[in-house]
Structure 1
């Protein structure tokens, strides 16, 4: 059985919007004023969603997870959620923008039914809301100069090559690097993703360490660089998967469970998964392992 860490952060960086596939945004939907608890249970709530023909979802405008561009809602989470709710008989996602810190409070207040934002599954959030099973994991990778002159493939090879590694300020990647035995003097802190790309281009660092999802997205706008194959780092023998999923209100177990049944059909079919969200930088390496379960991730 795989061991899982208690993850401590949302999602690695603030992302900028870019191109991708779409769900129409008919304006930003204003919040409803009363909490909808689902009446006799979320089975009846799903019936209500089917009857009204739409489900209200929230996003935080962070690409490639969930963002708005040119009047369309795009990204990994809305794309998967649209597919799942269509299978459940709900044809449309109606989006509401929220600042990140307001997503769960807005859900609790009944402003929307689901958070579609690639939110990391951590115990502190599980106390306040219901998470689906993981939609993705975020394996780590490194951005290097084209041709990968130091032949870096993972943290062990970076250490062996004496490489200087860049990490985001306040992010978990520094801990991954130190756990792999890379010295503090060979780790440089950067403030934003583009700083990391620029530092690699300028030769100030040999590699920029971040999630493969985020680096592949960054590479689209930075020539002369490449991203290594993703890998899963370990800290004290525990694999660091960094999974995320959809979020529902407490009391919505039946709706969440119906969602999970359709989600499993997608994550169990790698070709279908990549067809749906590959354009956002998600691939077979981001499909959650079958034994990675939310119940374990939610344990404090």
Structure 2
């Protein structure tokens, strides 16, 4: 299982097999150095992609969002994007591995056509690239001991029970906990996800708070723990959905719009969404609300 560089992906710090009919292209799993822009004056990018038969996607090797396993490209974003591009008449994904911080610069340089990495939609990123409508939201959950002995359901219940919770260093969950009125001495900071799981197992904390997506993935290797149902915390009166989406080069609005039309078909069909993404821990609770729009998320 890959490590989770959540701080970069979620923007917390100001910050050889088929997949739905699309194949990993051999030799394409290393970063590309050639700058070959996909867009240009008057170019029909989607027509070009259909003609060449593949779309160049970048991933950051972060499970469960976009990663490789035994040379096979997997994860939420590649699986969803494979399905969408196949519907658009583009049969293959040609993947490029990138450091997370290099994803948008590489896109701007024309090294690939789409970022397929579950990237959080933020105003800062919107200034440099085009985002699809949200592919998912990241409701919060808690990892607890099997049986949930403290009967925790959300941060309000944690405050009422007077329990000690854990959050990851630098992550927004700490601010959510404080906003819910949990005392600072009841909030412990952990350096990474496995540290949080170990702290729950060792009784040093009663619950580890993170996104449900990440915690369900973490639970696969920590069978003595379980994950509570998700909830949406509030901060300064606003619900914190933490949405993510596909990313396109500025100027490729037509490609982005075509992608969005197919994406809407999936996010409007709960059964299809869950069928596609449940292998990566995504559930119906990760389906974005229809009222959650990228145009609003991109506003500073």
- 1:5-27 Cα offsets, whole Å, 9 max, x none, are xxx963389xxxxxx99852422
Q: State how 1:93-104 maps to structure 2 within 5 Å.
A: 93-104=93-104
TM-score by length of 2: 0.92
TM-score by length of 1: 0.92
* CA 241–39 in structure 1, closer or farther in 2 if over 3 Å, else same: same
Query: CA RMSD of the aligned region, Å?
Result: 1.6
- C-alpha separation between the residues in 1 aligned to 2:53 and 2:182? 53
* Alpha-carbon contact 1:57-1:113 (below 8 Å) kept: yes
- C-alpha separation between the residues in 2 aligned to 1:92 and 1:10? 25
Query: Which residue does 1:209 correspond to in 2?
Result: 209
Q: CA offset at residue 289 of structure 1?
A: 0.2
Of the structure 1 ranges 150-159 and 23-32, higher mean CA displacement relative to structure 2 is found in 23-32
* Alpha-carbon contact 1:123-1:299 (below 8 Å) kept: yes
Determine if the alignment matches structure 1 residue 76 to structure 2 residue 68: no
- Deviating beyond 4 angstroms after TM superposition, the runs of 4 or more aligned structure 1 residues are 20-23
Which structure has more relative contact order (CA 8 Å, sep 6+)? It is: 1
* Alpha-carbon contact 1:200-1:206 (below 8 Å) kept: yes
- C-alpha separation between the residues in 2 aligned to 1:31 and 1:230? 41
Query: Which residue does 2:127 correspond to in 1?
Result: 127
- 1:236-283 Cα offsets, whole Å, 9 max, x none, are 210000000000000000000000000000000000000001110111
Q: CA offset at residue 45 of structure 1?
A: 1.0
* Alpha-carbon contact 1:163-1:206 (below 8 Å) kept: yes
Unaligned runs of 5+ in 2: 1-6, 13-18
- 1:81-132 Cα offsets, whole Å, 9 max, x none, are 0000000000000000000111000000000000000000000000000000
Query: Which residue does 1:266 correspond to in 2?
Result: 266
* CA 174–229 in structure 1, closer or farther in 2 if over 3 Å, else same: same
Query: Which residue does 1:3 correspond to in 2?
Result: none
Unaligned runs of 5+ in 1: 1-7, 14-19
- C-alpha separation between the residues in 2 aligned to 1:288 and 1:186? 32
The number of residues matched between the two structures is 285
* Alpha-carbon contact 2:11-2:122 (below 8 Å) kept: no
Query: Which residue does 1:32 correspond to in 2?
Result: 34
Determine if the alignment matches structure 1 residue 242 to structure 2 residue 242: yes
Q: Secondary structure at the match of 1:174?
A: helix
Q: CA offset at residue 69 of structure 1?
A: 1.2
Query: Which residue does 2:114 correspond to in 1?
Result: 114
* Alpha-carbon contact 2:66-2:117 (below 8 Å) kept: yes
- C-alpha separation between the residues in 1 aligned to 2:184 and 2:142? 18
Determine if the alignment matches structure 1 residue 85 to structure 2 residue 97: no
Query: Which residue does 1:16 correspond to in 2?
Result: none
- C-alpha separation between the residues in 2 aligned to 1:69 and 1:125? 28
